[in-house]
Every structure is written in structure tokens, then in C-alpha cells.
Amino acid sequence: MKNINPINTDAWKKLQQHFIEIKNIHIKNFFDKFPNRYKTMFRNFQDAIFIDFSKNRLNEETLNLLFQLCEETHLRSAINAMFEGKKINVTENRSVLHTALRNRTIHPIFSGNLNVMPLIHDELNRIKNFSDTVIQGIWKGYTEKNITDIVNIGIGGSDLGPKMVVESLKDYQNHLKIHFVSNIDGSHIKSVLDQVNPETTLFIVVSKTFNTEETLFNAHYAKEWFFKRTKLKNIKILAKHFIAVSENITKTISFGIPRENIFQFWDWVGGRYSLWSAVGLSIVLSLGFDNFLSLLDGAYNMDQHFFHNEFYNNIPVILALISIWYMNFFNTETEAIFPYDQNMINFPFYLQQAVMESNGKSINRLGKRVQWKTCPVIWGSPGTNGQHAFYQMLHQGTTLIPCDFIISITPNHTLLEHHNRLTAHFIAQTRALAFGSNDNFLKCKYHNQDKDFLHIFQSLQGNHPSNSILLNHLNPFSLGSLIALYEHKIFVQGVILNIFSFDQWGVELGKQLASEIYADITSSCSTIKYDTSTNNIINLCKKRKKN
């Protein structure tokens, strides 16, 4: 990929001047001047996803300059490089081929000299065969009882993605109960193990390297719990209840999981982009293989949209550019994700990792510190809960926060009056944020108040931007498309902002320090080798635990 700092481009300089001209224009004024602007700021993805980005503080000139920025930073060649398997993850010398995992064609895709498609198809067949045996009751526990519970042990991308998909698509779940353990906090695994029976439970240990401390510690605890509860310590019996997803075959076998129970995890797939692989075994076991294929198909179709469409009609590109516009010209710090669907409660958490672990970087691809913003803080919660919590700040606070509102037009339940009210709130919030209420009094029960005085506090200025993302129906296909949309949005931002999106060196220091500090916490002598604050905390914990 080309190493071009965005601030050195002509487009960026023009955007700076354009921002001065446009920054004080109210969204209402954009609609007053062009009432039908929604027609040019509306995109339809296969009648499955509809995007309205007209309630943003930008116009056609803004978009054209942002598209020029794409050209000057060579976005198209970067897209081609990723899909072709070029080693764009330079710091780890790896290809980035999560798109190959959902590729539904037989055309070869290479990582170096290796055609990865036969590997992917072979593993998909293994996933299908395995999941069918478990779901159909062919796979038995050590007492010949059917499996009833699945416990996925992983962390980060080995937990957040699968958990989000399973929860989002709970209306498609079968009879198996799916549990997730990630935190090294003992209360997490204890609360899960208290719910399951070792005779009917299948554990899936997911770790790319099989070195992740939290995952391995929880996996060893689960293994000891299994042996203690069954009063048996037999590797053959263990094989009926433990599966692994890893690229480190040797360490996995030494744990006690036989080779035939190990599913492949390749180094050209990043953890936070891995739910499409065997990392998604919990998804397949929950939804069935056909629904998993539909999830892949949705993502593949979004891949094709992203790869083939011109930037003007390219949904991931447009949303990425809008985010760059707010971050670097309006100086916004955060972006909020509001799924108006209780089943999508984990979607903002999933995007926190996907976005911030990818683009939370301050060094550009040339190894120099950046002079522009690369990543917003991602947060959010399901509507309408947030309306009774933090929306007050969105409407009248001092911080500008761009928002994505997500809803299904058709619900998965039959409570249509509930959904009509939910949809009304969804639409109302985007309108209220954009247009405010400055011209009208809000209804208020305090009629004895001075109306002119009260109006000052009731006034909502509006001019707060949002994107409306409507799914025709929340199903495996549309969710797969939506996830891939955000994946490509992240990639586009990384390319344009000249950073590496597919490494995560920032998480390593804390891991190393934790290993060192663990030795100090468990030692009998006082600790004096760190700064005074750290020494004091360690010694306080040791002293209190003794008492």
C-alpha cells in the first residue's frame, strides 16, 4: 500500500478550507436548501440494508472532496491488495484474508504462494460434519448422553464476535445452550460451570496461539473441574468433551485435546475478524450450518459490493469518510452505536474491539507519529434504554457525538405494536437530534413557570449528526452483511489515515507486566522494584489477603 499522509494531500487542504465555510451551517438549512437531499444520500444494499446519511453536517461538495481524498491516498489499490492476499499486515508480515473465509467461489486466493481456498473449504466441511453430529445427538458425552450445553472459552476476537452473533440471532437458535467464558475473573467461569453438567457439556477452547493467558487458565480450570466432577482422569474421555480452535497444534495436543478435535486457525486471519472461521463453531452449533452459510453469504455479498462499486455508491467507503470528516475537522472524540434491537445488545461491544484495536494507533505506516486523529472511542447501548440514560447529553450537551442508529424494519417477533413504538422512537431520535426544537415549546407540566425563561432550558438546538441503518429483517444474511460493512469501514479509515489496522502491539505490554507482577503478588516478601504507587498497591493486596 502507498504510504501517503492524508494531511499532505490536496483534498485534505481543500477540506480544511471547506470546513471553515460549512462548519456553522445547520442540518436544517441543508434540508431547506435541498429538501430532497435524502435522494442523493440514501443507499440500498440488495434490499437487505438501507442507509440514510442525509442527517449529517455535510453536502455534495464535502463528499466529492472526501472521494478525492480516497483517490489521492490510493484506496482502490489498497482494496485490491487486501483481496489479492498481499501482505498488507506489514509489521507481522501477514496477509489479511478474512474475506477469503466467506468467499463462495472456487477461484484461488493466495497468501504468498499458498492457495488458501482448499484449506478453507476443507475446514468448512469439517465444521459441517462436526456440528451436524452434535446437533443431531450423534456426538455423545462420556456417559452416552446427548450434548446439551456448549461452553466457548476464549477472549477478544475469540469471544466478542461469536457471542455477538449468537445473541443477535437468538431467534434462530436450536436446542443447544451456548455459554461464553472470557474473563480471567473467577466469577465468570464459576457462574457458567454452575449451570452445566459435565456429562452433557462440550467445551470449545479458542486461542490462535494457544498461549493466551486468560483462555488457557480458564481452559485448565475447566479441565480440572471436569475431572473432579466425573472422578475420572482419562484423555479418551476428555476428547468427548473438549474441542480446540488454534494454529498451535503441538500445544493443543499437549493440553490433552487430540488432533482430530482441533480446528484450524490461520495466521492470515486476525482474531477480531475471525468469526467467519472455525472460531465461529459456537455460532454453527447454535444456529446450524445452513444459517452459518447464510451469515457467510451476507458478508461475501458485502465484500463484492465493497470491491466492485465506485466510491460514490460504496456504503463502507461513505461511512468511513463521514467518520474521518467528523474526527479530523469537527474534532469529535467518540462515535455512538445504537441498535434498536435488544438482541443486538453486544453489537456495540463487538465494534469497540473491531474499531479501537484496529485503528487505535498513533504511528503511521512510515513509522512516524501522526498529526491527525485515527480512531474514535466507540460506545453505545440498545434503544430505547439509552434514551432514559445518556441521550440528554446527545441533545443538550457540549460534546458533538456522531451516531449510527440501527433497526430492523420487520421484527422477528409477533408483538407488532411494540415494534411500531420502537420504530417511532428510532425515527424520532434521529429527527430530534438533527432538527431540535428551538421553534416550539416542549410540552411541560410546569405551567406556572415563566414561559420565556423556561424556553431557554427547553430549547434543543439540533444539528447533531446521525446515520440511519435499516435492516429489512435481522437474519443471518443481513447480520453478515452488516458486520462486513463495518469491517470494510475500518479498513478504509486505516488506509486513508495511513496506519496499520491489522496489528495490536498496544495490548502486549500489559500482558508482559501482568506476568511479572503475578510473581510479586504471590511472593511472601514486600515489593519495592516498581514505582511507589504500584509497589503500594501490590503490598496492600498481599497484606489484605493474608488477613
Task: Give the catalytic positions in this structure.
Answer: 357, 388, 511
Q: How many CA atoms lie within 13 A of 500 on its CB side?
A: 22
SS3 74: coil
- Residues linked to residue 153 through DSSP beta bridges, in sequence order: 181, 205
- Residues linked to residue 337 through DSSP beta bridges, in sequence order: 404
Estimate the share of the chain in helix, then strand, then coil, as percent rounded to the nearest 5: 55, 10, 35
Q: What are phi and psi of 263, to 5 degrees?
A: -100, 150
Q: What are phi and psi of 194, to 5 degrees?
A: -65, -15
State the cell numbers at 138. Answer: 450423534
What CA–CA distance (Å, rounded) separates 71 from 91?
Answer: 25
Sign of CA dihedral 298, 180, 244, 218: positive
String of DSSP letters for 290-338: HHHHHHHHHHHHHHHHHHHS-GGG-HHHHHHHHHHHHHHHS---EEEEE
What CA–CA distance (Å, rounded) separates 184 from 222?
Answer: 12
Q: Which of 501, 456, 220, 245 is nearest to 357 (CA)?
A: 501
Report the chain's C-alpha Rg in angstroms.
25
Q: How many CA atoms lie within 13 A of 341 on its CB side?
A: 29
What CA–CA distance (Å, rounded) separates 145 from 123?
Answer: 27
SS3 264: strand
CB 238 within 8 Å of CB 255: no
What CA–CA distance (Å, rounded) separates 480 from 164?
Answer: 12
Q: Which of 491, 498, 487 is nearest to 328 (CA)?
A: 498
Residues 6+ apart with CB under 8 A from 253: 259, 262
State the cell numbers at 172. Answer: 434462530
State the cell numbers at 86. Answer: 498481499
Q: Which of 339, 345, 350, 346 is nearest to 470 (CA)?
A: 339
CB 100 within 8 Å of CB 116: yes
Q: What is the DSSP letter of 48?
A: T
Q: Give long-range contacts, CB 8 A cutoff, 24+ apart: 385-388.
A: 386/338, 387/425, 387/429
Q: How many CA atoms lie within 13 A of 405 on its CB side?
A: 28
CB 280 within 8 Å of CB 161: yes
